[in-house]
């Protein structure tokens, strides 16, 4: 097999770092090691597990300079984006350390023995336990925050799971450096966290019987291919794919009338941050017909026309951007508003693109997510807002986000629009833009297929739930219960005989921990 | 298509009630109706939804006589089993009404806008919302508690979902009467709950794009077939199958030495309740070699030999029981301890069966769940307990339950055994038996594949989580937020800025509601 080589997207030329793709035997060994080490890691007390997550965060920060420089060379992203992404990766480990210390994620419940209409009920004590080794697929576009050091790894480790990461081919050196930090900081638990390289290794990984769940951030095609591998397993396992999203933005007539300049500029900025290679990039904006909407679209077009070349991550994304924007340009009903060109330097540089289409002409053809600085403006009749809103959401696949740009005292039926939107996405945004996903307790980064599998977020505290399963202990002597399920262990939130109870002893500590976020 | 006809299992003769199988067009219409009505049902305030669940429970009790008589004719189950199952079905609806009123299941969280190491964070408010129409497959063996009026229907409706039930062919009349209760008590929301009949209708149902999740209690083969249908959908959906479980029971040497009589009798009772047709039937008991174990096995064998004919549910289960027990009898290393015979009357009556095998000879051949009053005794060397325990769990598929029969001050390594067991099952039982699954907050009825899909219980409060997905509202004006996410709405448990908070206003009501369970 040929070596995996990073490429400098600014020049298209190979970088000196190379790594061998993992063989089928390598993958089997890494999975077996992770499985073997996983039981001890799963058995760690919560405070010890939290301390390891904090240590990883420190390790990430300690290696900032080398990580950022390496990732910049391999991805073409600038210092600002990578620096903030690294801050996010470190924050995420510390955040999950707090989640682990707080303990609510265990969903602990105790039903003492009692009598019921169905007769006597035994003593039942439930909590969540790790599901087993988790396969994590690094993404191309977030070399830190959604890769080896990303949220899937952090939430899986936080849940007490061994992890095997499949490094993304676009940044093998960054991945290896990242994995070295995990190894160093996990110390004696380092065998709980493996890494594999190469396309075939990813397939072997998902097929491996030791693997019990998959976290994947990538393309719809890639996700479908892995789902097929899962379909062929003896034991099906959950696939948490974050796959594809257009993240539509709707501008009400009142919003266009009052904030055309602001919205037009902010839209251009949001759709091009990270060169338009974010899963939350708005790929579609619905703007009312008429002078207000025209003004807004002109602002966006003007801003995009002033952009310099955007360097894309790798040749695949570059080629796909060219092909998909060319196809869109020649689609019936589509008007090209901006056709930026690259500066002609070698590498994966492209120009911005902005298209326009009437809502009546909107179809599947406009509904594909395009990685890169391109977007579609959909024009609708101002008087037809509720119908136009539903028409757009029905025409495009489901999404991570739906955004509403509204005005003070807006005349649009915002209540119904909000309810409609929540059927099509996992996050409904008012007067903001979808790019930028805060890591917090109330976050949802997920939505109906194909954005994700609907049921869980992949960002924020509750992402940990993906990698846990419930176990109930019936009439279990206290000596053999997990610490959190013993009557006297008043240290985490627990549901006792149906009533949610908060621990007295830790409420002060927890407030301090929360404040730190 | 031929009509679906119930059969009296006691005689093998058809019952007068007949129903037409639903056509593909019927299924499409039922799904479309459920989808269309679902939005209004989902939008009901929680107290209104809870009242509907209470009303259904009343309806179930009001029709007790006819339901039990009809189900007895169609299933061959006696009055006692069916009466208690009906109590359970009604209880389940009331229990979920309490779960809905309490509101913790919404996992509401509010993160007020603040600054973070990654910059300013917007106001984020998260809660769970219904996932959409749910397909529920009635089981053969629980005509009430796991069928039209069962836990999947109750938890899906409790979550605010429309439901389409696929009635089990074994009890079409019971299913139709059950559905009529739902229709009557749901009143104007009756269109949110449809029913379909027949094998092909089940396939059409799972393939229907309106259906967003499937709850299934049935055979492993049936579950695999439906998974294949899901694999072929454009949008994958979660499949919550409760499929197959041997529910192994381990008797420690000390337990055998001190309680041979008690355990031997209770085992015989547990494996034959409901004629051995419960998903929690213990199909395997590991007993130490030597005099104590011999005594225990003799008690079980003696009890089983005294059993009269057990009537099985339908011809399929009857034929499968005969074939699988005959195959087991002729498997290498298997000794037959009890070979009961039926009384020769027509219908689906069978005798009890008990087999014995050495742990060293245990293989896949002994690891199939057999519906009916049969079980396998596995004998192990008392000194080899930890290894024998792992050997048995590794030899059989994963389970809903693992049971440990232990003694006061038991010399066996119970800590390690408990930890090992929790990797193989969702409920670990001490000195009880797996049959009988309490409906409560801390219950888990689920385990690693093929018992279920690991991640969720299908019995108890948290079963509702299967049919919900998270939505986050970012910077949403209070006017358009769901009621539970408004700052002042201090009526349910919420996580506010990372801290779990309990409502002051309802704590007294909730205690009253809890006491009622």
Question: What is the per-residue pLDDT across A396-417, written as a single tens digit (0 to 9) for each?
Answer: 999 999 999 999 999 999 999 9
**Per-residue pLDDT, A505:** 56
Q: Nearest CB to A442: which of B104, B126, B454? A: B126
Question: Three-class SS string for A191-238?
Answer: HHEEEEECHHHHHHHHHCCCCCEEEEECCHHHHHHHHHHHHCCCCCCC
Residues lower than pLDDT 50 in chain B: 506-517
Q: Nearest CB to B429: which of A119, A474, A514? A: A474
- Among candidate residues A279, A327, A408, A484, the one labeled active-site is A279
**Interchain CB distance below 8 Å, A443 and B418:** no
DSSP state of B441: T
CA distance A37 to A191: 6
d(CA B478, nearest CA chain A) in Å? 10
Reported as type and span, the H/E element at residue B402 is strand B399-405
**Per-residue pLDDT, A515:** 36
Reported as type and span, the H/E element at residue A266 is helix A253-272
**Interchain CB distance below 8 Å, A442 and B110:** yes
**Per-residue pLDDT, A513:** 42
CA distance A393 to A349: 32
d(CA A167, nearest CA chain B) in Å? 25
Q: Nearest CB to A480: which of B415, B423, B462? A: B415
Q: Nearest CB to A472: which of B107, B427, B450? A: B427
- Among candidate residues B63, B279, B356, B369, the one labeled active-site is B279
**Interchain CB distance below 8 Å, B116 and A91:** yes
**Per-residue pLDDT, B512:** 40
d(CA A334, nearest CA chain B) in Å? 27
**Per-residue pLDDT, B510:** 43
List the single residue in B with minimal CA-CA distance to A403.
B474
The yes-or-no verdict on residue A508 having pLDDT over 80 is: no
With H, G, I as helix, E, B as strand and everything else as coil, classify residue A7: strand
Mutate to test the interface with A, among B470, B487, B514 (most CBs of A within 10 A): B470
With H, G, I as helix, E, B as strand and everything else as coil, classify residue B280: coil
**Interchain CB distance below 8 Å, A116 and B438:** yes
DSSP state of A275: G
**Interchain CB distance below 8 Å, B479 and A414:** yes
**Interchain CB distance below 8 Å, B430 and A227:** no
Tokens of A38: 């996983």
Closest CA relative to residue A146, chosen from A197, A77, A88: A88
**Interchain CB distance below 8 Å, A471 and B84:** no
**Interchain CB distance below 8 Å, A426 and B469:** yes
**Per-residue pLDDT, B515:** 36
List the single residue in B with minimal CA-CA distance to A474.
B429
Q: Nearest CB to B474: which of A110, A236, A430? A: A430
- Inter-helix orientation angle A151-158/A46-62, to 10°: 160
Chain B CB contacts of A125 under 8 Å are: 442
Chain A CB contacts of B126 under 8 Å are: 441-444, 462
**Interchain CB distance below 8 Å, A470 and B446:** yes
- Establish whether A476 is a catalytic residue: no
The yes-or-no verdict on residue A269 having pLDDT over 80 is: yes
| Dihedral in degrees, nearest 10, Cα atoms A231, A235, A236, A241 | -90
**Interchain CB distance below 8 Å, B438 and A502:** no
**Interchain CB distance below 8 Å, B480 and A418:** yes
- Among candidate residues A63, A74, A242, A356, the one labeled active-site is A242
Q: Nearest CB to A476: which of B428, B469, B479? A: B428
**Interchain CB distance below 8 Å, A418 and B476:** yes
CA distance A387 to A376: 19
**Per-residue pLDDT, A1:** 63
Contact B407, B259 (CB under 8 A): yes
CA distance A459 to A438: 8
CA distance B328 to B336: 9
Query: pLDDT category, A384, cuts 50, 70, 90?
Result: confident
Q: Residues A364-378: what's their mean pLDDT?
A: 92
CA distance A503 to B454: 29
Supply the Cα-derived Rg of chain A in whole angstroms. 24
d(CA B310, nearest CA chain A) in Å? 24
- Among candidate residues B63, B74, B85, B242, the one labeled active-site is B242
**Interchain CB distance below 8 Å, A511 and B499:** yes
**Per-residue pLDDT, B504:** 78
With H, G, I as helix, E, B as strand and everything else as coil, classify residue B247: coil
Chain B CB contacts of A422 under 8 Å are: 129, 471, 473
**Interchain CB distance below 8 Å, A453 and B238:** yes
CA distance B17 to B516: 38
Long-range pairs for A25-33: beta carbons < 8 A, 24 or more residues apart: A26/A196, A26/A201, A27/A196, A27/A201, A27/A204, A27/A205, A27/A208, A28/A204, A28/A208, A30/A164, A30/A194, A30/A195, A30/A196, A31/A133, A31/A164, A31/A194, A31/A205, A31/A208, A31/A210, A31/A211, A32/A210, A33/A191, A33/A194
**Interchain CB distance below 8 Å, A235 and B495:** no
**A–B interface: beta-carbon pairs under 8 A:** 257
**Per-residue pLDDT, B327:** 95
With H, G, I as helix, E, B as strand and everything else as coil, classify residue B391: helix
pTM reported for the whole predicted model = 0.96
**Interchain CB distance below 8 Å, B43 and A428:** no
| C-alpha B278 chain-centroid distance | 10
Residue with tokens 């090691």: A33
Q: Nearest CB to A473: which of B84, B237, B428? A: B428
Q: Nearest CB to B429: which of A84, A88, A475? A: A475
Tens of pLDDT, residue by residue over A118-169, are 889 999 999 999 999 999 999 999 999 999 999 999 999 999 999 999 999 9
Residue with tokens 């409706």: B157
The answer to whether the bond into A411 is cis (omega within 30° of 0) is: no
d(CA B15, nearest CA chain A) in Å? 31
**Interchain CB distance below 8 Å, B495 and A425:** no
Q: Nearest CB to B469: which of A88, A455, A493? A: A455
Q: Nearest CB to A462: which of B84, B440, B470? A: B470
CB burial string A379-415: b at 16+ within 10 A, e below: bbebeebeebbbbbbebbbbbbbbbbbbbeebebebe
List the single residue in B with minimal CA-CA distance to A454.
B469
Mutate to test the interface with B, among A439, A470, A495 (most CBs of B within 10 A): A470
CA distance A308 to A341: 8
Chain A CB contacts of B249 under 8 Å are: none
Tens of pLDDT, residue by residue over A212-246, are 999 999 999 999 999 999 999 999 999 999 999 99
- Establish whether A107 is a catalytic residue: no
The answer to whether the bond into A196 is cis (omega within 30° of 0) is: no
HSE of B100, CA atoms in CB hemisphere, 13 A: 29
Chain B CB contacts of A471 under 8 Å are: 422, 425-428, 444
d(CA B323, nearest CA chain A) in Å? 24
**Per-residue pLDDT, B124:** 98
Contact B482, B431 (CB under 8 A): no
Mutate to test the interface with B, among A423, A474, A487 (most CBs of B within 10 A): A474
d(CA B345, nearest CA chain A) in Å? 33
CA distance B389 to B406: 13
d(CA A331, nearest CA chain B) in Å? 24
Q: Residues A429-441: what's their mean pLDDT?
A: 97
**Per-residue pLDDT, B365:** 84
Query: pLDDT category, A345, cuts 50, 70, 90?
Result: confident
Domains and CATH numbers, chain A: 26-111+122-243+456-467 (3.40.605.10), 249-430 (3.40.309.10)
**Interchain CB distance below 8 Å, A117 and B212:** no
d(CA B26, nearest CA chain A) in Å? 24
């Amino acid at each position: 097999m040929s070596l995996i080589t990073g490429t400098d997207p600014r020049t298209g030329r190979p970088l000196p770092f190379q790594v061998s793709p993992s063989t089928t035997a390598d993958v089997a060994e890494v999975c077996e090691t992770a499985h073997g080490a996983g039981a001890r890691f799963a058995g760690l007390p919560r405070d010890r597990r939290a301390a390891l997550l904090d240590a990883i965060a420190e390790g990430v920060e300690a290696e900032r300079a080398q990580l950022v420089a390496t990732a910049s060379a391999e991805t073409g992203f600038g210092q600002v984006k990578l620096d903030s992404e690294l801050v996010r990766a470190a924050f995420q480990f510390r955040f999950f350390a707090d989640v682990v210390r707080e303990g609510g994620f265990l969903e602990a419940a105790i039903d003492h023995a009692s009598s019921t209409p169905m007769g006597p009920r035994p003593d039942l004590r439930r909590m969540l336990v790790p599901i087993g080794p988790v396969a994590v697929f690094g993404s191309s576009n977030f070399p830190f925050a959604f890769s080896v050091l990303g949220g899937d790894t952090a939430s899986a480790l936080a849940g007490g799971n061994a992890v095997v990461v499949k490094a993304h081919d676009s940044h093998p050196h960054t991945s290896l450096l990242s994995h070295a930090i995990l190894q160093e900081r996990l110390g004696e638990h380092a065998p709980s966290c493996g890494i594999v390289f190469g396309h075939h290794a990813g397939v072997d990984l998902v097929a491996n019987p030791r693997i019990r769940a998959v976290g994947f951030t990538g393309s719809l095609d890639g996700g479908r291919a892995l789902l097929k591998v899962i379909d062929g397993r003896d034991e099906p396992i959950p696939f948490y794919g974050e796959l594809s999203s257009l993240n539509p933005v709707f501008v009400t007539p009142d919003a266009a009338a009052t904030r055309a300049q602001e919205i037009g500029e902010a839209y251009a900025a949001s759709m091009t941050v990270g060169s338009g290679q974010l899963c939350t990039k708005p790929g579609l904006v619905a703007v009312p017909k008429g002078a207000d909407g025209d003004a807004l679209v002109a602002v966006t077009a003007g801003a995009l026309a002033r952009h310099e070349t955007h360097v894309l991550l790798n040749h695949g994304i570059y080629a796909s951007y060219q092909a998909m924007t060319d196809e869109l340009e020649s689609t019936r009903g589509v008007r090209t508003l901006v056709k930026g060109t690259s500066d002609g330097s070698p590498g994966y540089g492209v120009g911005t693109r902005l298209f326009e289409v009437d809502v009546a002409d909107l179809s599947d053809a406009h509904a594909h997510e395009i990685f890169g600085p391109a977007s579609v403006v959909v024009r609708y009749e101002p008087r037809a807002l509720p119908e136009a809103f539903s028409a757009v959401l029905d025409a495009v696949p489901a999404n991570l986000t739906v955004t509403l740009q509204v005005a003070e005292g807006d005349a649009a039926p915002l209540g119904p629009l909000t309810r409609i939107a929540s059927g099509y996405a996992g996050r409904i945004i008012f007067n903001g833009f979808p790019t930028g996903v805060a890591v917090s307790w109330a976050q949802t980064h997920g939505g109906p297929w194909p954005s994700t599998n609907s049921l869980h977020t992949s960002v924020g505290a509750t992402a940990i739930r993906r990698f846990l399963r419930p176990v109930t202990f019936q009439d279990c002597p206290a000596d053999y219960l997990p610490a959190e399920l013993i009557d006297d262990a008043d240290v985490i939130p627990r549901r006792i005989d149906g009533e949610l109870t908060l621990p007295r002893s830790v409420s002060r500590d927890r407030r301090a921990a929360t404040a730190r976020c």
